[in-house]
Each structure stands twice: as C-alpha cells, then as structure tokens.
Structure 1
Amino acid sequence: MKTKKIIIASNNQGKVREIKNYFEPFNISISSQRELNIKSIPETGKSFLSNALLKANHLFSYAHLPVIADDSGLVVEALNGEPGIYSARFAGEEATDEENVNLLIEKMQDKTNRTAHFHCSLVYVSENYINNPIIVESKWRGVISNKKVGNYGFGYDPVFFLPNFNKTAAELSSKEKNKISHRGQAMELLINKLQSNKLI
C-alpha cells in the first residue's frame, strides 16, 4: 500500500525543509516530530547510521506512522573526522550554527589539509519495515574554506567549498544544492527504493 504520510525524525528545520522538497512530486503529507510534540532521543550511537536507526525506531514507537530519520554531519580529515556525529553540537549542546562554524574555522587555522566531506545516513521505518528498515548512505566531498561565504543553506554550508563549482554550499540555490548534496544523493536513492517497493 502506498504511503500517505511520513514523519521526519528531526527538529532541524533545515533538514526537514530539504527532505520535504523531495516529496513534492508525490501526494504525501510530510510532518516533523516537533509538529507531533514528540521529544528527541539522545544520540548515543557511535556512527551516523546507528544514530539514524535510533531516531527512526524511537519516533516510530510513538507515531506508528512511516518515519524517515536522517543523521548527517561534516567529517574533516585534518581534525581526525571531527566534528562527525557531533556536528550539531560541536561547540556545545545548545550551540548555534554560527558558533559551530566559528569553532571549525578556529581549529582549521593552521591546517594545510582542508579536505572534508558531508555524510548522510537515511533510514525509513514503517509497520512492515521495523525489523528490516530501508537504509541509504551518501557522501559529498569538498574542502573547508577559511571564511564564511554565502547566505543560503544552513549548518556548515558557508565554509564547505566546492572546487568544481568555485562556490561554497551556502552560495548554491536550494535547487542546485538538492541535486548534488549528500542528502540530495541519499534522498534520490531512498525515493528509488521506496518506489521499487511500491511505497510511494
């Protein structure tokens, strides 16, 4: 049976907005867990995927509706993979995007290797996919710039420089970003799997 409603396991409005964009061609209602007043679960996993699975199963246990959980973040080679799974709270539990970006710029000041990638793990859980969730993962490669450029996007986008485009992610329109980003690639894979399983 085709899905009519999907809940996104995130309070990050940037993520929710991006995921919603991908479902526009389908007749599916998209809501966030915030709209259902369901509290987040602590992200105690040791990887993006384990955190995405935690979030998906937690939300499904309350909502009993199909769920998509995303865990993603920035992995910087020169910082031994930091901020990684702690991307949203790099500068502290309640840190803003700006505080996280400023800390990254500070830590990267003397680094010559500026290679980095965004990683995205997406998990789909529903009544028939509790024990066998649909999982997709993707990466988006770039380098860390030494200053913030651009007004679009969110998170680390203003310092994630894309040599092929000669722009940061924050200089891309949402349409451009959704075509090439880690989440964009993962969402394309997920939608293909949902379609092949006749879920959308």
Structure 2
Amino acid sequence: MSSEPAPRLSRGARPSDDQLLDGARAVFAQVGVTAASMEQIADAARCTKPTLYAHFRSKHAIYLAALRRELNRLQAWLFNAYDQAAGRPAHEQIHTAMAAIFDYAEDNPDGFRLIFTTEAEGHLAAVTELITTITTKIAELIRAELTALGHKPDDDLHAVAALTVGTAIAGVQQAFQAPPQKTHELLELATRYTEHALTMLIPRQPQQRDVQHDPA
C-alpha cells in the first residue's frame, strides 16, 4: 500500500465543512489535539491550509466543530436505538443501550476516540452535557418499564442509568485495547454488570411465612 498522501481536490472542487471535519477527526483521533497541526489536517482533508483557515479560524475552532458534530451524531445514534427498544423488558433495554454505544464505536472509531479519549479546552463541558442527556434518557426508559410492571422506581434509578452509560464507555475503551474477538465478551460483561444493578431497584416480593396458631 502506498504511503503517499491522497491527492488534493481540484481547484474547482470546494471542500465542504464535513469533508474538512472528517480529515480533522482522523488526525485528532490518531495523534491527539495538542500534537495535531493544521498542515496535517489539510493533508487529511485533501485541501490547502489557506482553504482550511478560510473555513475555520484556528485549530481549536476546527476541533470544537469536529467534537460538536460527533457529539450530535452519537446522541442521534443512541437515541434512535433507545426509542426502538422502548416498551421492551428492562433487561433488553439495558442490552440495547450497551450494544448501541459498542456499535457506534465499531462503526465510528475515530469519532469515539475524539469524544472520549481527547482533552482540550471546551471538551469536558461538552462531553459532560452529552453524558447527562444520555443518562436522563436511559433513566426515563427504565422508569417507564418498571412503572409498567407495577413497581415504584427507586430513587437510585438515575445512578443505575449513569452506571449504564459509564460502564458502556469503559467497556468500549477496553475493547479498543483488546483483540477484536473480545469485543462481544466485553459487551456481555458490561450488560450483566448493569443488569445486576437494575435488579436491585425491583422490590422483592415478601416471602410467605407459615403462621402457627395456638390451639383453641
């Protein structure tokens, strides 16, 4: 395979913001935000540095634009999966929540790395906002399911939803470092871990006790 950079777009072809952000996403995911240069981003986006600066004033500006785009894409991806699972048993919704983020990471590895493994100004607040939104959505789905089953959801429901999100993210980060065949095992492990937390919210039925009466 040739290591030569991809040819630049012809002069008549104006790159879209999405094309530029695709190139930036790949560079940021591979070398990090601090080490990335505008020249590297321009090469990845198959454009010139002046063109890149015409669209985005600085590396930080293109980073924030790329991050925000990936955050929006991930949220749309996950919410679509959650909505499709709505109304199913709670354990199936937990599995769907886990599988959705694993699937996103598999289909968009650079996007996942950009969101969860990079650090730059403005990153923490944006990612925290997304995680809070996802956690609230999962809590609503689980609450609706438990209520439909006749259970009164515990106050710790939001904590279980947060565990679901955090466990899924940690599981995918582990999957990036593990052999591909381990991905399914990590998904199942993360699912069982969170399902166990969910079962703690379902009140146990009181056990019947034999009552002995004194003979009349």
Taking structure 1 as the reference length, the TM-score comes to: 0.30
Larger Rg: 2
Taking structure 2 as the reference length, the TM-score comes to: 0.29
- Structure with greater helix share of residues: 2
- Structure with greater strand share of residues: 1
